[in-house]
Each structure stands twice: as structure tokens, then as C-alpha cells.
Amino acid sequence: MNTFSIEGKVMVITGGTNGIGRGLVDYFTEQGVTVIAIGSREETVQKLRDDYARSGRTIDARVLDVRKVPGIAPVFDKIAQDYGRIDVLINCAGMGHPIPAIEVTQEDWDTMMDLNLRGAFFCSQAAARHMLKEKSGHIVNITSQISLVANEGETVYCASKGGMNQMTRVLALEWGAQGVIVNAVAPTFTYTPGTAEHLDQPEFRASVLARIPRGELGTIDDIASAVHYLVSGHADMASGSILVIDGGWTSV
């Protein structure tokens, strides 16, 4: 008997067409979860649909640029209307690239903050409006180990992910007593098509591994398993928690 079964839950995953988000979509569909994948562009959303169709499966994938706040609530309202509820939201839409602090422009700042932090907040708000009516729901924000420690050249990214951590705590405080559990997962460097450009460079990869006591990069399964635990119903006392999946990076 699988006491951690989440089969049948209705889960929205933002950033679900690429990278970690795509990996989470694949993982949770295999768990029998009804997944609604959110992507910012029609072409990536259609590619996800096509990929699933080629394997004889279907996926509900919808277009939403979470930087455009007025469009968020209508999409979540339609999902709740179509499925009767929203059980889980995974805020995975995000971006990051190194920019020396002295070179950061207002556009750099706004672009990353709008996607990583503002978008996550307003998606959480839109989902919570439905979860609070049911007095039940889980929200998991995908942050980063460098939301907790400094990383050179990552001022904007670190600030946006650190903001997500604090947002997680406040939302857990406001909504926890009403049945909506909010947590975050903070992974280390994880190998995906988006990170391959850097992690395939031997010098960069070695510098990363040298800071991870386990000596390994993170995997999609590492992150997915942590999220699974948090939304399983067996972790509801972990409310406002930042679950760090970093192989020990932040412990030294």
C-alpha cells in the first residue's frame, strides 16, 4: 500500500514546459496526478502536447506568461472551473543568469523579479482563492540553495529567490490555519537542458561539485521526491518550511 499516493489530485505546475518544471510534469503524471502544465509561449506548450501525444498520452498544457499579472486569475479560474478544484500549485516558472552587480540594469532587475517573485505571488494568490474555499490545498515554491547563501554574480537571482522564501513563510502564516499549506523546495545546481550549457563546461562543473559535500549534481527526481513528500498529506506540519535539497552545500 502506497501511503504517499497523490493519485487523482489536480496540480498546476508553472514553468512546466522546460527544465525542472518539465521534469516535474513528467514525474507527477506518472503518479496518477491530473497535471495542468503552464508555459509562457504557445510553441513550447504545443511541443509538450506533441511530445505526450507521440507516446500515446495527453497533457493539459496552457499558455500563461506569469509576468502579465492581469492574465493570471482568469487562467486559474478556468482550471478550477474545468476540474472543480485546484489541489496543488507548484511555482516553478523562473529564470536566472549571472550578472555582475555593477552591470545590472533596471531591465535585468525587473525581468527576473517579475518572473521569479511577482509571478509566483500572484499565481499563489489566484490558486489560494479556490483552495481557501475548500479549506484545503498545497503550494510549493521552487526556490534555490542560493536563496540562502550568497553566490557571486547572482545578486538579482539570489534576491528574487530569497524573496520567494520569505513570501513562503508569510503565506504559510496567513493561510495555514485555513487549510492551505505553503512550503518551498530549494535545490542545488540541477542538470537540465537549460543548465547544460554551463554544467557541461568542465571547469564550471568542477567548481560546483567542489562546493557540494556529496560530490553530485541534483536531479529532477531529487526535487520531485521532495515536492511529493510536501504535498502528500504526510508533511502538513512542515508549513512555511524551506526544504533544502543541495547535497550539503549550505551546511558548510
Q: Is residue 171 part of a domain?
A: yes
The set of residues, in sequence order, having a beta carbon less than 8 Å from that of 239 and lying 6+ positions away, is 172, 176, 181, 182, 183
Q: Is residue 4 part of a domain?
A: no
Q: Is residue 212 part of a domain?
A: yes
pTM to 2 decimal places: 0.96
Tell me which of 52, 83, 157, 191 is the catalytic residue. 157
Q: Is residue 5 part of a domain?
A: no
Q: Is residue 69 part of a domain?
A: yes
Cα gap 115→41, rounded to integer Å:
14
φ, ψ of residue 234 to 5 degrees: the values are -95, 0
Q: Which helix (H) or strand (E) holds 231?
A: helix 220-231
The set of residues, in sequence order, having a beta carbon less than 8 Å from that of 99 and lying 6+ positions away, is 108, 153, 154, 155, 156
Q: Is residue 221 part of a domain?
A: yes
Cα gap 86→13, rounded to integer Å:
11
What is the per-residue pLDDT for 203?
95
Note if 83 is an active site residue: no
CB 72 within 8 A of CB 64: yes
Q: Are strands 137-142 and 88-91 parallel, antiparallel or unpaired?
A: parallel
The list of the chain residues with pLDDT below 50 reads: none
What is the per-residue pLDDT for 2?
61
What 3-state class would DSSP assign to 79? helix
Domain count across the chain: 1
Q: Is residue 251 part of a domain?
A: no
Nearest to 230 by CA among 142, 128, 107, 109: 142
Q: Is residue 252 part of a domain?
A: no
Query: Residue 194, Cα to own-chain centre: how many angstroms?
Result: 15
DSSP conformation letters of 87-128: -EEEE-------B-GGG--HHHHHHHHIIIIIHHHHHHHHHH
Cell representation of residue 136: 484545503
CB 88 within 8 A of CB 182: no
Cα gap 117→14, rounded to integer Å:
13
How do residues 104-138 score in pLDDT, each as one tens digit?
Answer: 999 999 999 999 999 999 999 999 999 999 999 99
Nearest to 184 by CA among 198, 203, 193, 171: 171
Given the C-alpha cell 472551473, which residue does it identify?
81
Find the domain containing 84 and state its range. Answer: 10-244
What is the per-residue pLDDT for 3?
77
Q: What is the CATH number of the domain that holds 208?
A: 3.40.50.720
